[in-house]
Amino acid sequence: MYQFAGFATDDFDIFLIPEFHDRMTAVRTHIRPKLAMIGDDLAPRLTELLRQPIFPHTASHARRRVNPPDDTWVSFSRNERGYKRFAHFEVGITLNYVFVRFVVKREGEDDKPALMRHLRSQGEDAFRLSDPAPIYWYKDDHGVDPFPLSEITPAKVSEIIRHTDVKSHGFTVGLTFSRTDPVVASAALIARTYNVIAHLSPLYAGAVPMEALSQ
């Protein structure tokens, strides 16, 4: 039995609230508890899937003072204290969709070198990920400029590697579910998200150093 029961239309519309404090209050009051439920529901299953302890981290946006967030999320990493330094998965919500992503942020110095070796050694094969929904590579960890992996070419792989290798860049691959998709409005989102992460997990295995996977 899952805690999470689905996102409502009002949850998406929170990102239309213009004022910083009003939007932040609504995010913390209405969305963050639901993301925490997703974290609690998924973390035990991801621990089994990824064969190491996985911990949920619900975004707090604590450093924001002026501009309200356009999205928010719960992350899953192997570190109990945080996620930004490590390869992780994100499940989040913005105005028009729910997203599920594999992310290595620019701060991910622990795992980015392993990811780069994986991308260079596997080439196009690193992007042969299967899911019923289209999977995309994004230029940043907020879903900018999606590129469908179904159209991957050796030239695009080289471009992605060059982009990711820049110190100020990270790596993001994932997919979205429209706010009108019935799956986001029910507990079925938990099982669907688990399946997406399972399909993205070869990237996680490629990014996490072997010594970390064996712990």
Task: Please answer whether residues 5 and 186 qualify as being in contact, where contact means their C-beta atoms are separated by less than 8 angstroms.
Answer: yes
Average pLDDT, the chain: 94
Output the CA angle 99-181-147, nearest 5 degrees: 40
Separation CA 178–CA 158 (nearest Å): 30
| Residue 104: closest CA among 52, 196, 169 | 169
Asked if pLDDT for residue 146 goes beyond 80, the answer is yes
Q: How many structural domains does the chain have? A: 1
Per-residue pLDDT, 182? 98
Give a yes or no: residue 119 inside a domain: yes
Separation CA 210–CA 149 (nearest Å): 26
Cα torsion 103, 108, 114, 120: sign: positive
**pLDDT tens digits for 46-67?**
999 999 999 999 998 877 778 8
**Based on C-alpha coordinates, what's the Rg of the chain?**
17
Separation CA 26–CA 31 (nearest Å): 7
Give a yes or no: residue 2 inside a domain: no
Separation CA 88–CA 208 (nearest Å): 10
Separation CA 148–CA 20 (nearest Å): 33
Beta bridge partners of residue 97, listed in sequence order: 178
Give a yes or no: residue 4 inside a domain: no
The amino acid at residue 2 is Y
Count Cα atoms within 13 angstroms, Cβ side, for 188.
7
Give a yes or no: residue 1 inside a domain: no
Q: What's the CATH number where 104 sits?
A: 3.30.930.20
- Residue range(s) defining the domain that contains residue 72: 9-213
Give a yes or no: residue 131 inside a domain: yes
Per-residue pLDDT, 211? 54
Separation CA 144–CA 140 (nearest Å): 6
Asked if pLDDT for residue 132 goes beyond 80, the answer is yes
Token pair belonging to 36 = 């925490």
Separation CA 18–CA 147 (nearest Å): 30
Separation CA 12–CA 140 (nearest Å): 21
Tell me what percent of the residues of the chain surpass a pLDDT of 90. 87
Give a yes or no: residue 147 inside a domain: yes
At residue 109, φ and ψ (nearest 5 deg) are -65, -20
Mean pLDDT of 126-144: 94
Mean pLDDT of 148-159: 97
Asked if pLDDT for residue 209 goes beyond 70, the answer is no
